[in-house]
Amino acid sequence: MLVVDDDEVIRRLISVNLQMEGFEVATAVDGEECLGKVHDVRPDLVTLDVMMPRLDGIRTAARLRADPRTRHLKIVMISACAQSADIARAREAGVDAYLTKPFDPDQLIRVVRGLSFG
């Protein structure tokens, strides 16, 4: 798993919850770092925040989908942006699931497991 969020507390919260379920987790602070790490880490799933510096989550998701080497990745958007327009933009960019902050850790695990093993 590659957890991408500019907020260190949120990044740790997501990472710890995934690690407690047995997933290996790497992290990145924004979309640029995500795109730089994704080929080395080779995750099965990426979590993305929407609002991040340098490269936001929507544009990061679109770039992951545009690259033949990463278009297969499952993408879960985890964001405070909860408007239907935000969710629609994420879907257009190719996001597989959208969770809003504050998120329920149990729901996160259910979504990740469903995408990873569904």
Model confidence, pTM = 0.95
Question: What DSSP character marks residue 55?
Answer: S
Domain extent listing, the chain: 2-105
Amino acid in position 112: V
Cα(33)–Cα(41) distance, rounded to whole angstroms? 12
Cα(115)–Cα(107) distance, rounded to whole angstroms? 12
The stretches in the chain having pLDDT less than 70 are 118
Q: Would you state the pLDDT for residue 81?
A: 82
Please, are residues 90 and 58 in contact by the beta-carbon 8 Å criterion? yes
Task: Say whether domain 2-105 belongs to CATH 3.30.450.20.
Answer: no
Name residue 27's beta-bridge partners.
Answer: 3
